[in-house]
Amino acid sequence: MNALIRRLVEAWGPSGYEHQVRRLIQEEVADLVDDMRVDALGNLICRVGSGGKKVMVSAHMDEIGVMALFAEPQSGYLRFDPIGGLLNSSLAGNRVRFENGATGVIGVYDSFGRGRTSVPALSDFYIDVSDGNGGAVQAGSPAGFWREFETRGTRIIAKSLDDRIGCVVAIEALRKLQREAPNEVHFVFSVQEEVGLRGARTAAYGIDPELGIALDVTATGDELRNRKMAVALGGGAAIKVHDTGLVVPPAIVSWMENCAREHGIRVQRELLSGGRTDASVIQSARAGVPSGCISIPCRFLHTTSETADTGDVQACIDLLHALLSAPIDL
């Protein structure tokens, strides 16, 4: 599984530019699904099974990044805007990579002055792309953050675990299903989640599911002096109950918890203050879709060192497989 995680998290794919990630996922799932298509917005939609309840499972392919706005004359510096929710406190010294392979380093005005004691405004940051040879990156070029995948025991550390690890959960559940699903399941690898859940919204309209399940990361409450939250790294799959965009129907929470209990899968309840997933827009598609979410606990979200636990990832895979491998009566 780690080899697949490495391939996906090290891939380049800011919101709106997910084509490289999509190609990797297409190669992984081609022999695991009954049919596969790419919709007008770029979502990869894969179907397995027929009959029973129509289910949409969604994990987003995109990652946060930056968009080059303006090249400072004769300097090799770029001004930029965010693609998704950047954390200004984590930007200085980070590396970004453009699609052409050029690497830039993010600098900030007065880094050893006020930059040491306060968080600068985004307008104070710039990207150094100077190469000494007059090379240039044009305004309008998107970039993703760059950091290699690493492991520390059962812990995996990488950029873009949000939400490539959700994509891994979907792929591995597909592998376990072996195209034998008693329901009609549409696995959606969605685009543009980080800029407004756009891909899942259009995919849900097109699929018109009867049940929605999002796969995404969630914060943890086990860091020093951090938020009060019951989710812990290593505590198992997190079954969402509530976030700022979704109140999960109690019947779905019970269905997931009972299934986990029956199969001996370790789970914990997730109540997230701040943050949304694809389930937020699936639930309001057409006449409404009862929706839930299986979450992968993750520390240091929206940084280049997002950290998850392989035990939790496996628990999410096992739970999703168990839910989809039996007839659904909700």
Q: Is residue 9 domain-resident?
A: yes
Give the residue among 46, 45, 2, 42 at the shortest CA–CA distance from 20: 42
Amino acid, single-letter form, for residue 151? T
Q: What kind and span of H or E run contains 214?
A: strand 211-218
Q: Is residue 69 domain-resident?
A: yes
Q: Is residue 317 domain-resident?
A: yes
The pLDDT of residue 224 = 87
Cβ partners under 8 Å of residue 91, min gap 6: 106, 108, 125
| Cα 285 off chain centre by | 21
Give the residue among 54, 296, 285, 3 at the shortest CA–CA distance from 187: 54
Segment 76-104, tens digit of pLDDT: 899 999 999 999 999 999 999 999 999 99
pLDDT range class, residue 72, cuts 50, 70, 90: confident
Q: Which residues are catalytic?
A: 193
Segment 9-26, tens digit of pLDDT: 999 999 999 999 999 999
36, pLDDT greater than 90: yes
Residues 196 and 125 reside in one and the same domain = no
Residues 99 and 233 reside in one and the same domain = no
Looking at the structure of the chain, the number of domains it has is: 2
Partnered with residue 285 across adjacent β-strands are none
Mean per-residue pLDDT, 63-84: 92
Task: For residue 100, give its domain range.
Answer: 65-145
pLDDT range class, residue 187, cuts 50, 70, 90: very high
Residues 49 and 87 reside in one and the same domain = no
Q: Which of 111, 145, 179 is the last residue of a domain?
A: 145
Q: Is residue 115 domain-resident?
A: yes
133, pLDDT greater than 90: no
Q: What is the CA radius of gyration of the chain?
A: 20
Q: What kind and span of H or E run contains 48?
A: strand 44-48
Phi/psi for 261 (5° steps) reads -65, -45
Domain with residue 69: its CATH number is 2.40.30.40
The pLDDT of residue 93 = 94
Residues 55 and 69 reside in one and the same domain = no
Q: Which of 112, 145, 178 is the last residue of a domain?
A: 145
Report the b/e string of 112-123 with b at 16+ CB within 10 A: eeebeeeebeee
- What global pTM score does this model have? 0.95
Residues 48 and 167 reside in one and the same domain = yes
The pLDDT of residue 167 = 98
109, pLDDT greater than 90: no
160, pLDDT greater than 80: yes
The pLDDT of residue 134 = 57
Q: Which of 98, 118, 145 is the last residue of a domain?
A: 145
Q: Is residue 151 domain-resident?
A: no
Q: Is residue 150 domain-resident?
A: no
Amino acid, single-letter form, for residue 187? F
Mean per-residue pLDDT, 117-128: 89
